[in-house]
Structure 1
């Protein structure tokens, strides 16, 4: 299946994930371009060393954007369909992700990142007025792409040093962990980043995890990003 519309979505992997085009910034001032996203017609099975084999999804996103160099144009992503729980009831958020750029222009400005959304209520949906906190984990940044806000700290996890930024987007606070180097094969517990914010930034543990996504945010340039398994 190939998605081309601004808000096209597709349920995949027996309803475990919703794949989203999400061209939310495509019409920002001066912006021009296109994006398409393709998912295969088969379910993959992970070969990770997890205790229980888990099915995974794969996808390919191709885009080309010009104008509005400081504005994110889209966030093509796979969102895990969740049972919304408060952080106090979550023991782990294990994830693996293997991806690569099949093509990338010299002027590419983009990131590849996880996006976790918190809300005071289980009725929250993420990326709207019901959101309280957004937690991003950047596995890649190219062309000088940077997160919102200012740097407020950092941590080392899974053998990688991560800088931490804090800012405001819309009505919520966004925290962004940015890896010191590009990571194209990731396996780890995303709860480690949440726990760091609880201890160091006072993140409230009674808020609910209402959405968990993984995808890419392009600013300008052209690329084809391939996720082999997520």
Structure 2
């Protein structure tokens, strides 16, 4: 969504993917050159849009378009810092009311969202400052025009010359066949960037591989709508020769379960000025008993912290012989910590005493099975002792 607006911070672009059934029909023969600032053309019968999207410079940029990709043939702009010069890219969905065939925004909690992904092959050049990235956009409403205000989920398959995402590094995850550094910032909306620690010349993964992680960290919500999947390059300089081919959005029948969030987390309004990643701290499992043979343990870790708060994640394990009906985790904060919001559990707090109880969709945990919930907390990062009971 970067066209037609100017951002003060470094811009971004996110990614997704998954194997499965192609959403596009037979490719049509398309060969054209786009040089106008916001020039675009539809390919594969309107299933995708290719856009020049030169939004951060007045210098010339041209791309040669094919059925399923493009190559940057001219890129004269040079930005020494801050935002990139452009985001030439392929689009599935809507970009400022320029929409692909029959597209409607997709709610992140819907079954249609499961397995939705994309794949592409990428061609790189030596030198220059650029990234190769997907940009996946989410809005609290089913928006087709204007700037999205929910989350910008970026996946960086490669980068060169010191290009870095918005905000600060907050963690590392292993997903979608690789290891990714996680960055978070806020430019009026949440920007969550997944930067591959080793370059990839192709991508093929599901949106939920990354979006589920963003929800668990408190940066996104399952009530939001996916409005577009975009893939391309952000050049600060030296982008001539970068290319993408084989782009396709895919839909599968298997994969991650839908993201389900209740009591959606409230994220800090701006990027913390001193964000640090707290090494995972885990409490010793504490066991409780309920009625019948249901028992459980709860283990805790801090996944992220900043000056005035932190994100806590809890894994509940059924250690009993039968499937549980529900569970409850209790603990006492050592000081003035306060649960601001939680997901995948109903939380309550009185003074320093806090509880989290299962919801109707995650109370039933099979013997030796696990489920997770998370919370955003105001106050100094800490590791409370947990007590778990199940029925």
TM-score under structure 1 normalisation?
0.83
Report 1:200-211 matches (<5 A). Answer: 200-211=217-228
Q: Comparing 109-118 with 195-204, which one deviates more in the overlay? A: 195-204
Structure number with higher relative contact order (C-alpha < 8 Å, ≥ 6 residues apart): 1
The one of 84, 91, 104 equivalent to 1:83 is: 104
Partner of 1:60: 71
SS at match of 2:215: helix
Q: Over alpha carbons, which structure has the higher Rg?
A: 2
Aligned equivalents of 2:216, 2:116: Cα separation in 1: 17
User: Which SS does the other structure have where 2:114 is aligned?
Assistant: coil
Offset from partner CA, 1:1-41 (integer Å, 9 cap, x none): 110000101011111111111011014xxxxx42111113x
- Are residue 167 (structure 1) and residue 185 (structure 2) matched? yes
Aligned-residue CA RMSD (Å): 1.7
Cα displacement (A) at 1:226: 2.1
Q: TM-score, normalised by structure 2?
A: 0.50
Q: Answer yes or no: is the 8 Å Cα contact 1:105–1:223 preserved in 2.
A: no
More strand by share: 1
1:74-93 deviation digits (Å, cap 9, x = unpaired): 00000013421110011122
Q: Secondary structure, in 3 states, of the residue corresponding to 2:165?
A: coil
Q: 1:142 aligns with which of 160, 167, 170?
A: 160
Runs of 4+ with >6 A deviation: none
Question: Are 1:94 and 2:117 matched, yes or no?
Answer: yes
Cα distance, 1:62 vs. partner?
A: 2.5
Query: What secondary structure is seen at the aligned counterpart in 1 of 2:60?
Result: strand
Q: How does 1:8-157 map to 2 (within 5 A)?
A: 8-27=39-58, 33-40=59-66, 43=67, 57-70=68-81, 71-81=83-93, 82-89=103-110, 90-101=113-124, 104=125, 106=127, 108-125=128-145, 128=147, 130-157=148-175
CA contact (8 A) 2:190 2:219 kept: no
Q: Does the 8 A contact of 1:23 with 1:74 survive in 2?
A: yes
- Counting matched residue pairs gives 204
Q: CA deviation at 1:173?
A: 1.3
C-alpha distance after superposition, 1:41-72 (max 9, x if no partner): xx4xxxxxxxxxxxxx1221223345431130
In 2: Cα distance, 1:211 partner to 1:142 partner: 25
Find the aligned partners of 1:65 and 1:11 in 2 and give their Cα distance: 25
